[in-house]
Amino acid sequence: MSEQQINNPLHGITLQKLLEQLVAHYGWEQLAVRVRINCFKQDPSIKSSLKFLRKTPWARAEVEQLFITTFHSR
């Protein structure tokens, strides 16, 4: 199983850490522009965003892809 994770850029990164890094890099306003979901626009917080992203696979996939594009394409 560890062989499957070698090329996975998200391996070992929790959704919370991923989101915290994106917010630190972009800020909520720019994050809302890049990933169009309301929890980034209206009264954003890590807690509310995590709750939404855990329940919404398409939104989580977009956030994960933005993280990979931002931090692993360098």
- Residue 28 near residue 40, CB atoms below 8 Å: yes
pLDDT value of residue 16: 95
74 vs 59: CA distance, rounded Å: 23
Decide which of 1 and 21 is more confident: 21
Whether 39 is in a domain gets the answer yes
Tens of pLDDT, residue by residue over 16-39, are 999 999 999 999 999 999 999 999
Domain count across the chain: 1
What CATH number should be reported for the domain holding residue 23?
A: 1.10.720.30
Give the domain range for residue 30. 14-71
Q: Which residue has the tokens 């306003």?
A: 29
- The answer to whether residue 9 is domain-embedded is no
The answer to whether residue 7 is domain-embedded is no
pLDDT of 1 higher than 60: no
Residue 5: band (very low, low, confident or very high) from pLDDT cuts 50, 70, 90 = low
- For residue 1, being part of any structural domain is answered with no
Q: 38-74 as b/e, with b when 16 or more CB fall inside 10 Å?
A: ebbeeebeeeebbebbeeeeebbebbbebbeeeeeee
Q: Is pLDDT at 53 greater than 70 in this prediction? A: yes
For position 30, what pLDDT does the model report? 95
